[in-house]
């Protein structure tokens, strides 16, 4: 049996598999982020077979599938569901968002799916800023922590980030909706990737303006809450929990980033962080 191990917050994940060709596929799931948490839960999966696969979780049958892509889908969904459910039961709110530090200021980015968070986070990382996560953020009593996941890059991403053109073919991919999504671990490019827990310095709501200009303007707390209440809420997230979280936000509110050109957005964020750091 072959094996891949990695940490997902407080969970230690073990993937054992017979088919050696699965290694490149399962790399789509594995993350190399440094995490300060000590694992307290073991998530163990075995995948037997070749061509047709049987997936077991801690010895119990999880499913039988007919392709490597389906193996990745089943395990990916399962490990994140198990991990996030544990945190939701402990009182954490799961938000669709990302975390990154710009000039030493830790920013929590929120927004609906398709707003452009992954593109923005990729540009921040390539510009040398500290990337933490781009998809799911756990918050509780003022603390924010990213749930580590590789950057999922859609077809055409090299148009927006040409620096990645040379690595496109080497990135693990998964087919979905008739397109191949590439998964980038920042450490693959030599970038540091760590998952700290702490209060954000800025809360930024992203509103998409694809193909247009990028702008940055103040946004009061109540407007952030309105956006959150309209957004797609995840594991364990309820309206009352969102209100509770929003009530603890900084009285000076946050920012709204109208995201068009990602290069423009990066410049605006860097200028804002430089002013705040003075």
Kindly list the structural domains of the chain, giving each domain's residue range(s) and its CATH number in brackets, ordered by start: 2-89 (no CATH), 93-276 (3.40.50)
Read off the pLDDT of residues 32-81 as tens digits, 9 standing for 90 and up: 999 989 999 999 999 999 999 999 999 999 999 999 999 999 999 999 99
Read off the pLDDT of residues 104-146 as tens digits, 9 standing for 90 and up: 999 999 988 888 999 999 999 999 999 999 999 998 888 899 9
d(CA 32, CA 116): 24
pLDDT band per the 50, 70, 90 thresholds, residue 214: very high
DSSP summary character for residue 3? E
- Min mean pLDDT across 57-61, 210-214, 226-230 is at 226-230
Element (H, E) at 272: helix 262-276
Mean pLDDT over the full length of the chain: 89
pLDDT of 238 higher than 80: no
Report the percent of the chain where pLDDT is more than 70. Answer: 91
d(CA 209, CA 217): 14
Please give the pLDDT value at position 277: 58
Please give the pLDDT value at position 244: 65
DSSP helix, strand, coil percent of the chain (3-state; round to 5)? 30, 35, 35
Closest CA to 22 of 43, 42, 46, 6: 46
pLDDT of 225 higher than 90: no
Closest CA to 149 of 114, 190, 180, 118: 118
pLDDT of 93 higher than 90: no
Please give the pLDDT value at position 137: 92
Residue of higher predicted confidence among 245 and 39: 39
d(CA 175, CA 277): 43
How crowded is residue 231: how many other Cβ atoms within 10 Å of its Cβ? 19
Residue 20: both structure tokens together: 């050696």
């Amino acid at each position: 049996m072959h094996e891949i191990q990695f940490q997902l917050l407080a969970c230690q994940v073990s993937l054992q598999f017979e088919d050696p060709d699965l290694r490149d596929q399962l790399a789509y799931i594995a993350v190399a982020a440094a995490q300060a948490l000590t694992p307290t839960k073991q998530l163990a999966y075995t995948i037997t077979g070749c061509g047709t696969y049987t997936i077991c979780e801690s010895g119990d049958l999880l499913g039988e599938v007919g392709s490597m892509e389906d193996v990745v889908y089943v395990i990916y969904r399962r490990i994140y569901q198990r991990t996030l459910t544990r945190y939701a039961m402990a009182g954490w709110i799961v938000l669709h968002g990302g975390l990154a530090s710009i000039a030493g200021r830790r920013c929590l980015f929120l927004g609906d799916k398709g707003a452009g968070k992954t593109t923005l986070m990729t540009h921040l990382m390539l510009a040398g800023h500290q990337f933490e996560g781009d998809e799911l953020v756990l918050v509780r009593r003022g603390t924010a922590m990213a749930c580590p996941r590789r950057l999922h890059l859609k077809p055409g991403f090299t148009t927006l980030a040409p620096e990645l053109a040379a690595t496109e073919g080497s990135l693990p991919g998964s087919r979905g909706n008739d397109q191949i999504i590439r998964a980038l671990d920042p450490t693959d490019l030599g970038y540091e990737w760590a998952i700290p827990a702490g209060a954000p310095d800025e809360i930024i709501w992203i509103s998409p303006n694809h193909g247009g200009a990028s702008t940055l303007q103040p946004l009061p707390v109540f407007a952030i809450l309105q956006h959150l209440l309209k957004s797609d809420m995840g594991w364990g997230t309820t309206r009352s929990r969102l209100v509770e979280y929003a009530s603890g936000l900084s009285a000076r509110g946050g920012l709204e980033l109208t995201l068009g050109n990602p290069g423009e957005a990066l410049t605006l964020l860097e200028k804002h962080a430089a002013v705040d750091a003075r």
